[in-house]
Structure 1
Amino acid sequence: MSRSTTRTALVTGGNRGIGLETCRQLAHAGLDVVLAARDAERGRRAARAVERAGGRVRVEELDVTSRASVTACAGRLAGAGVEIDVLVNNAGVYPTDGFFSLDEATFREALDVNLMGAFHTCQEFVPAMTRRGWGRVVNVSSGLGALTDNVPSPAAYGVSKAALNALTLVVSDAAGPAVKVNAACPGWVRTDMGGSWAPTSVEKGADTVVWLATLPDSGPSGGFFRNRSRIDW
């Protein structure tokens, strides 16, 4: 892949866990990476690991819950001549409160980060993908939001991920066939969020995300995938 045809991927929540591993794997695959993090200093520290492995990475401060922050990030990238070809909506929170003990602030935070964050970034970056005739969007979701498997749970997390799955279908339809928009369930992964006892390594958890981010033009859109296989919504 020559420098002139290198794709650029933006990964939200890229400073740790599945997001950081996704940055590493995408860089290893030859993409330029924009590592987006709410805390820019944490983002810069995380980026060093990608750079040491030979990856090309740019750090951007980005709070996905703020439309102004997303717009400002897009403006800085445009000013630097950076076009986003691949968008990985990975930033997320995992509240575990039961429904009747769930307070409104926690519920709103889950929706703001897990759903509205992807809404903001998709509205900002996907139209340009459609105009250029190529793009990939991966929404990092969860089987805990799958309506066909169970009642979405824990309450705030499950509802927000079920809504993210619905958003995936909406964006896929709006973006057109040249932009592949899919949701990924990484599984229960050993990260700060998943815990040290989780059965899935972070490398395996990021694998389906990276696969969807690098789909060929014949690849699927509007699907929900785990272990590179389609699963029910």
Structure 2
Amino acid sequence: MTSRIALVTGATQGLGAALAAGLAQRMAPTDTVYLTGRDAARVGAVVRSLPAFSARVRGEVLDVSDPESVTRLATELTGRHGGVDIVFNNAVMRVGPDDDPKSIIKEYVEVNNFGTTRVLRAFAPLLRDGGRLIVVASSLGTLKFLAPALHDHFDDLPSLDAVDAATAAWRDQVVDGRARAGAWPGFVNIPSKIAQVAAVRALALERRRQDVERGILLASVCPGMMNTPTSALWWDVSAAPTPEQAAGPLLSLALDPVEPGHYGELIRDGAVLPWRPAG
């Protein structure tokens, strides 16, 4: 049996670390989980802090905001293993209530959105039969949270290039103030998450037939509210699940048999969240 290879981006803390640990617990001793982040020292420290699991955990530097970093690791994993079986795109730049959207939006989009499409472009072609590529997004990533006049901005985009162009157009409107004066929500997380889900939908449109034949799952996922320091800046999360608890349904999505209706969709706790508002 071929050893399975898993990759988690943004895995040096919170949900990413929980996903990497959960995969390592549930996968076989012959399997490898790549725990990645952009800081080599932090990656190494997290790997060393983990208890002995069933699968091997290997740390790698990966900065999704750097195209060369993404291409390098994809090339290296191809050389080492010939492909990958599970990819969680979890890397994220977090923002707080006091952050000025105009001052952070360029870096924010570079990590959260263009980082997502870089990972999709680089690692989707490496998926082996039965593979899973899962983008960690949010229930905010649906058109329900966008003004109807803006739905066409992200709806039914035909390619990742089109998603990148739409995302860049929104970013530029934030930078020059047009977004604030218009219908765009002030919370930049909403359009960003919608763009992430739109990216998954666009790639799924291109790959659906071959992926379904090969048992591959491409999806976005909402982990729900979590008790993390960043979330606590915005909401009362004292009763929310820990990252380890929130990781459970995501791990099931990655390791359990594929549910055909999940392909290309945004999933929360095993259920599909509608992309468009009802009615």
Task: Give TM class, smaller chain.
Answer: 0.7 to 0.9
1-structure distance, mates of 2:258, 2:129: 11
Report SS of the residue matched to 2:232.
coil
Distance 1:79 1:218, change over 3 A: same
2-structure distance, mates of 1:195, 1:55: 33
* Deviation of the 1:153 alpha carbon: 5.5
* Deviation of the 1:51 alpha carbon: 4.4
Report Cα offsets for 1:174-198 as digits up to 9, x if no partner: 2332321111111111223323952
* Deviation of the 1:64 alpha carbon: 0.2
Distance 1:195 1:96, change over 3 A: closer
Identity %: 29
The 5 A counterparts of 1:83-232 are 83-96=83-96, 101-103=100-102, 105-129=103-127, 132-149=128-145, 155-175=187-207, 176-177=211-212, 178=214, 179-195=216-232, 197-198=236-237, 199-219=240-260, 220-232=262-274
Letter in 1 for 2:273: I
* Deviation of the 1:93 alpha carbon: 1.7
Letter in 2 for 1:137: L
Unaligned runs of 5+ in 1: none
* Deviation of the 1:204 alpha carbon: 2.4
Letter in 1 for 2:144: T
Letter in 1 for 2:142: A
Give 2:170's aligned residue. none
* Deviation of the 1:155 alpha carbon: 2.5
Give 2:166's aligned residue. none
Q: Which moved more, 1:143-152 or 1:187-196?
A: 143-152
2-structure distance, mates of 1:193, 1:227: 22
* Deviation of the 1:13 alpha carbon: 0.3
Over 6 Å off, 4+ runs = none
RMSD over equivalenced CA pairs, Å: 2.4
TM-score (norm 1): 0.86
Contact 1:96/1:154 (8 A) holds in 2: no
Contact 1:35/1:60 (8 A) holds in 2: yes
Contact 2:5/2:33 (8 A) holds in 1: yes
Give 1:24's aligned residue. 21
1-structure distance, mates of 2:141, 2:97: 15
1-structure distance, mates of 2:259, 2:123: 22
Unaligned runs of 5+ in 2: 148-183
Letter in 1 for 2:85: D
Q: How many residues end up aligned between the 2 structures?
A: 226
* Deviation of the 1:81 alpha carbon: 3.0
Distance 1:218 1:144, change over 3 A: closer
Larger of the two Rg values belongs to structure = 2
2-structure distance, mates of 1:139, 1:227: 14
